[in-house]
Amino acid sequence: MSDQTRNDQELRRLEELRIIRESGVNPYPPVFEKTHSNISVLETFSDEDASHLAEIAVAGRIMAVRVMGKAAFMHIQDDGARLQLYFRKDETPQFYELIHTLDIGDIIGARGFAFRTRTGEISVHAREAALLCKSLRVLPVPKEETDADGNKVVHDAFVDKELRYRRRYVDLIVNPHIRDVFVKRSKIIAEMRRFFDGRGWLEVETPILQPLYGGASARPFVTHHNALDVRLYMRIALELYLKRLIVGGFEGVYEISKNFRNEGMDKTHNPEFTMMELYVAYRDYFWMMNMTENLICRLCVAANGESSTKFAGNHISFAAPFRRATMYDLLREYTGLDLFGKSREELLATAREIGVEVDSTAGAMKLLDEIFSQKVQPNLIQPTFVMDYPVEMSPLAKAHRSTPGLTERFELFAAGAELANCFTELNDPIDQRARLEEQAALRISGDDEAMTLDEDFIYAIEVGMPPTAGIGIGIDRLVMLLTGQESIRDVLFFPQMRPEKQ
RNA sequence: GACCCCGUAGCUCAGUGGUAGAGCAUCUGACUUUUAAUCAGAGGGCCGUAGGUUCGAGACCUACCGGGGUCACCA
């Protein structure tokens, strides 16, 4: 970036960098032997005996500077925690020579001893100090004040969402609380792996670049492989390859990885998102409901220390068991109507009667889905397994063992949002081929989200897949729910943004 | 893709047709336990971009760029 794009403050920092180099100090030294994190100093300090903190080395980014003639205070931040440093001109003369060239944003290290200042703040009295990295860009600097009641008040917080998302590294520096969401995200995923690994299921990796895409209803990203000169699609779901592995003899496989869908973006959709899918042989969707309750409860505890969370003003408890109800029972509960077996025309008339906005060209399944989305889904605040969807809505789910026309499928809802989708997997190859042929026909008639017919997948199912239960959990949405974030952008480090012009 | 709101200093924001502002940040000076440090002074702006209306536009109109939100599509 040219100097013409720098403002006066940034040009001054370049000038300071020149002065530092000319004075013989390396502004980017290779190493600093840090002995303590800020947190460890703050947590282990004792007024009675601080001898264990008599010779320590700390380092971090300067977040506040108060030079008072021949003494100076700075706050440095590492790992989201701030620690005060105290300097005296007569004790660190070489460092003090350059103190006027230091800025908020620079990274420094100091060796010295921990003490408590007259005003009560645990600090490090520096005997030696060194610049570790000169910063050339200006950080937004919110100021923190502790008011009379001991509450933290932040002044001029850095809140511009566009800047926060485009320059997440700055957001993470100046808004340390943002880190908490991402630390929780990491804990949730780590706990999920522990849970699955502890049951002996294998974490696997399957292709992201696929000659045919499938496993969900969505539009894909299209790309091209030069050497093979073929069109490839970025996967929209993990399902079809994981089932091939069950066919191959693994009895429990899972994958946590990115899916890509070329669709609109909003508070709950990012074009790339993280999905977990798990397949376990010889199990069905009832078994998977039990597993899921235990899993989600454990994840909530891992993130929040308790089995409940708050989202959009609702207190949501993930203590097992969750409510279980069939789709048609819930429709009856919230509309007063029995919609099972109704024709497209009857459903269209019903939708209009009960005030559900629908497209008059919509098919029966679309109508049913719309009525459910508008009348039932917003009421599903506490976790609820919605069971037994119509076969037309679920081309990869096994036909219901007792009710014709339905499948053995559940979706888990909480806070009005879908969290998981599970089936007893369809392993009847004749039925599977028929369902996918139906999807292919829909595609030809113009439904660009209908599934393609993947002959190799059918071949695998014809080789034979044991009875299997499979589940998919949208990790981003789960993290949103468990951390109380109402926008997917706040649980992704780098949400997709439109590139800035020029 | 449609509609609504927003875009002014590094950050947070005032500025409702008449000389571009404040706080923090920055710079200069004072100050050896301060903490939103304090005190005194100073610098910093293609007011998102391009047209238009007007004697005069940061403000009004149009288009475009970027963001946020609602809807549509979806997990």
Task: Specify the pLDDT at position A197.
Answer: 98
Whether the full predicted model's pTM is greater than 0.90, yes or no, is: yes
SS3 content of chain A, % helix, strand, coil (to 5): 35, 25, 40
Which residues in chain A, range 250-309, keep a C-beta under 7 Å from any nucleic strand B atom?
261, 263-264, 266-271, 273
Structure tokens at A336: 């007063």
Please report, for residues A85, A325, A473, the alpha-carbon distance to residue A380 in angstroms, rounded to integers and kept in the order given: 52, 11, 17
Domain ranges in chain A are 3-139, 179-322+382-490
Round to a whole number and report the distance in Å from the CA of A500 to the C1' of B49. 13
Give residue A194's identity as a one-letter amino acid code: R
What are the pLDDT tens digits along chain A (502 aa)? 345 578 888 999 999 999 999 999 999 999 999 999 999 999 999 998 888 999 999 999 999 999 999 999 999 999 999 999 999 999 999 999 999 999 999 999 999 999 999 999 999 999 999 999 999 999 988 777 777 777 777 777 888 888 899 899 999 999 988 999 999 999 999 999 999 999 999 999 999 999 999 888 888 999 999 999 999 999 999 999 999 999 999 999 999 999 999 988 888 999 999 999 999 999 999 999 999 999 999 999 999 999 999 998 899 999 999 999 999 999 999 989 899 988 888 888 888 888 887 777 778 888 888 889 888 998 999 999 999 999 988 899 999 999 999 999 999 999 988 999 999 999 999 999 999 998 888 888 777 778 888 999 999 999 999 999 999 999 999 999 999 999 999 999 999 888 776 4
The counts of H helices and E strands in chain A are 14, 20
Round to a whole number and report the distance in Å from the CA of A28 to the C1' of B33. 31
Q: CA torsion angle for A100, A101, A106, A112 (degrees, to 10)?
A: -50
Which residues lie closer than 8 Å to A319 by C-beta, 6 or more apart?
A297, A307, A308
Round to a whole number and report the distance in Å from the CA of A160 to the C1' of B7. 11
Contact flag, residue A194 CB and nucleic strand B, below 7 A = no
Residue with smallest Cα–C1' gap to B67: A162
Round to a whole number and report the distance in Å from the CA of A167 to the C1' of B12. 17
Contact flag, residue A497 CB and nucleic strand B, below 7 A = yes
Round to a whole number and report the distance in Å from the CA of A495 to the C1' of B68. 14
**Cα–chain center distance at A297:** 18
Q: CA torsion angle for A360, A366, A372, A374 (degrees, to 10)?
A: -50
At CB < 8 A and 24+ separation, what contacts does A65-69 make?
A: A65/A102, A65/A103, A65/A104, A67/A99, A67/A100
Structure tokens at A353: 């009667």
Quick one: which H or E segment has residue A435? helix A429-444
Q: CA torsion angle for A325, A329, A332, A338 (degrees, to 10)?
A: 170
Contact flag, residue A357 CB and nucleic strand B, below 7 A = yes
Contact flag, residue A103 CB and nucleic strand B, below 7 A = yes
Please report, for residues A115, A173, A209, A397, the alpha-carbon distance to residue A287 in angstroms, rounded to integers and kept in the order given: 58, 44, 32, 15
B chain positions with any atom within 7 Å of a protein CB: 1, 9-13, 23-37, 43-44, 65-75
Contact flag, residue A11 CB and nucleic strand B, below 7 A = no
Task: Specify the pLDDT at position A448.
Answer: 74
Cis peptide before A321 (omega within 30 of 0): yes
Contact flag, residue A389 CB and nucleic strand B, below 7 A = no
Q: How far apart are CA A492 and CA A164, in angstroms?
A: 12
Round to a whole number and report the distance in Å from the CA of A233 to the C1' of B71. 29
Round to a whole number and report the distance in Å from the CA of A72 to the C1' of B40. 20
Do A420 and A318 form a contact (C-beta atoms < 8 A)? Answer: no
Q: How far apart are CA A61 and CA A78, in angstroms?
A: 7
Instruction: Evaluate whether A3-139 and A179-322+382-490 have a shared fold.
Output: no
Q: What dotted CATH number matches A179-322+382-490?
A: 3.30.930.10
Give residue A355's identity as a one-letter amino acid code: G
Q: How far apart are CA A491 and CA A274, in angstroms?
A: 11
Please report, for residues A145, A353, A403, A405, A416, the alpha-carbon distance to residue A408 in angstroms, rounded to integers and kept in the order given: 57, 30, 10, 10, 22
Which nucleotide has the shortest C1'-to-CA distance from A374?
B71
Q: How far apart are CA A118 and CA A86, in angstroms?
A: 12
Task: Specify the pLDDT at position A116.
Answer: 95
Q: Residue by residue, what is the 3-state secondary structure of A70-125?
A: CEEEEEEEECCEEEEEEEECCCCHHHHHCHHHCCCCCEEEEEEEEEECCCCCEEEE
What is the value of ipTM here, to two decimals?
A: 0.89
CB count, 10 Å around CB of A29?
Answer: 12
Round to a whole number and report the distance in Å from the CA of A420 to the C1' of B51. 52
What class has domain A3-139?
mainly beta
Round to a whole number and report the distance in Å from the CA of A69 to the C1' of B40. 15
Closest C-alpha to A381, from A301, A300, A308 = A308
